[in-house]
């Protein structure tokens, strides 16, 4: 009996080891990675290194307070990371003691933190140090300088700063708002009001983008999360046409990652974006037909048929509708589309009575 049991154990497949926190993180299972690494701290061979790793991951997932908690009691060599976590958590006073003024990113955060604390003289001095480090013509330095001028009511001097910052980054909401205000206050009211209207439309889109990016950071291999980025970028592209290919890239990545059961809704959204926003119906049709090769779903064929019919490609549209009808033979709407197009195809063209 014992020999048989030992033989059975020897012949059973070896159980795969549990994935490490790093493997979970790289596989996109990021909340699980953090939970596992945190749970193993007590038995860790190097708990300090693991706590630093947790803080870095938590920074990436915007869990700033948790990151600060994991750094408690560790040495000053992690002050730069502490400073970033404090700044991101809007703890500006402690952040100022920890941020590195020689860092190209931190130098601007110092200006921002000092302004938030209304320590404006110090903010102006910090801005000059940032300009020396990054260059006086740096777009973000220009945006901050515009804010400093605007704070003092020096709108004519603020105007070119905001112009440069907005030209470099159309999604810099502060530069856009400052530019609109500066134009209104320097006599260019029509354009200023137009830009302020754009600013009011931009802010909720930036909030949506931030929310979508947070979801993507948590699950970077999720097709719906990439599609959500595509949806926001599509709306942003209506204000900033340069964002179009960002929307396309997000949708394409979503389609690459999507299992078959998630594919169709994403494909339909991407196709609508290409057709309605980009005015590229051929690109939309190509996407739909490509997805048909993966999933037999009549919605893909019917949408392709609609686009082909609108483009005057009657034979291709008929073929698409017939593919859809083959998948759903009793669908009255597909039959109606097909009958309408077949009827139009049978009508004589040209000439009169």
pLDDT in tens, 170-220: 999 999 999 999 999 999 999 999 999 999 999 999 999 999 999 999 999
pLDDT, tens digit, 9 for 90 and up, residues 55-71: 999 999 999 999 999 99
Using 70 as the pLDDT threshold, list the residues of the chain that sit under it: 1-15, 345-353
Is residue 164 within 8 Å of residue 156, measured between CB atoms? no
* Cβ–Cβ < 8 Å for 341, 309: yes
pLDDT score for 2 = 60
C-alpha distances (whole Å) from 112 to each of 60, 94, 127, 247 are 20, 14, 9, 30
CATH number at residue 142: 1.25.40.10
Domain-located, residue 163: yes
The pLDDT score that the predictor gives to residue 343 is: 86
Given this model, what pLDDT does residue 10 score?
A: 55
Which residues have C-beta within 8 Å of that of residue 36, sequence separation ≥ 6?
A: 20, 21, 24
> What letters, b where the CB count within 10 A reaches 16 and e where it falls short, cover 167-196?
eeebbbbbbbbbbbbbbbbeeeeeebeebb
Q: Give the pair of three-digit tokens for residue 269.
A: 């959204």
Judge whether 160 lies within some domain. Answer: yes
Count of Cβ atoms closer than 10 Å to residue 342 Cβ: 13
Integer Cα distance of 23 and 59 in angstroms: 19
Q: Give how many domains the chain has, as a whole number.
A: 1
Question: CA 67, CA 81: separation in Å to the nearest integer?
Answer: 9
Residue 142 lies in a domain: yes
State residue 179's pLDDT score: 98
In a domain, residue 71? The reply is no
**Does residue 165 lie within any of the structural domains?**
yes
Give the pLDDT confidence score for residue 347 in this predicted structure.
Answer: 66
In this prediction, residue 1 carries a pLDDT of 55
Task: Check residue 344 and give its pLDDT.
Answer: 78
157: containing domain? 137-206
Q: In the chain, which residue ranges form alpha helices assigned H by DSSP?
A: 2-11, 21-26, 30-39, 47-60, 64-71, 79-88, 92-96, 106-116, 120-134, 139-151, 155-168, 173-185, 189-218, 223-239, 244-257, 260-272, 281-292, 298-310, 314-327, 332-346
Query: Can you give the pLDDT at residue 17?
Result: 82
Phi then psi for residue 230, to 5 deg, are -60, -40
Q: Which helix (H) or strand (E) holds 293?
A: none
Residue corresponding to tokens 């040209």: 350
Two structure tokens written together for 84: 């970033």
Q: How many C-beta atoms surround the C-beta of residue 347 within 10 A?
A: 6
The predicted structure's pLDDT at residue 323: 96
Q: Is residue 312 part of a domain?
A: no
């Amino acid at each position: 009996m014992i020999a048989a049991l030992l033989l059975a154990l020897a012949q059973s497949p070896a159980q795969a080891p549990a994935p490490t926190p790093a493997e979970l993180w790289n596989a996109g299972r990021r909340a699980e990675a953090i939970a596992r690494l945190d749970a193993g701290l007590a038995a860790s061979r190097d708990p300090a290194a693991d706590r630093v790793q947790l803080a870095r991951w938590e920074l990436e997932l915007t869990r700033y307070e948790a990151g600060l908690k994991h750094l408690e009691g560790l040495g000053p060599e992690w002050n730069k990371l502490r400073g970033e976590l404090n700044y991101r958590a809007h703890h500006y006073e402690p952040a100022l003691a920890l941020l590195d003024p020689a860092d190209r990113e931190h130098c601007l955060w110092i200006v921002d933190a000092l302004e938030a604390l209304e320590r404006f003289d110090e903010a102006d001095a910090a801005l000059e140090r940032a300009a020396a480090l990054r260059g006086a013509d740096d777009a973000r330095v220009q945006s901050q300088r515009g804010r400093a001028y605007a704070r003092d009511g020096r709108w004519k001097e603020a105007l070119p700063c905001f112009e440069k910052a907005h030209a470099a980054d159309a999604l810099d909401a502060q530069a856009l708002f400052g530019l609109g205000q500066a134009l209104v206050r320097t006599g260019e009211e029509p354009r200023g009001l137009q830009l302020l209207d754009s600013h009011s439309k931009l802010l909720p889109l930036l909030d949506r983008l931030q929310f979508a990016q947070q979801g993507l950071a948590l699950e970077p291999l999720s097709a719906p999360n990439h599609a959500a980025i595509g949806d926001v970028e599509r709306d942003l592209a209506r204000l900033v046409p340069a964002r179009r290919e960002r929307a396309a890239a997000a949708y394409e990545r979503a389609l690459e990652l999507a299992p078959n059961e998630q594919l169709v809704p994403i494909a339909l959204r991407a196709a609508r974006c290409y057709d309605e926003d980009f005015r590229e119906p051929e690109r939309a049709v190509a996407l739909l037909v490509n997805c048909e090769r993966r999933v037999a779903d009549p919605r893909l064929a019917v949408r392709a048929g609609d686009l082909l019919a609108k483009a005057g490609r009657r034979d291709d549209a008929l073929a698409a509708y017939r593919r859809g009808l083959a998948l759903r033979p009793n669908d009255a709407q597909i039959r109606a589309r097909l009958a309408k197009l077949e009827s139009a195809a049978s009508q004589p063209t040209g000439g009169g009575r």
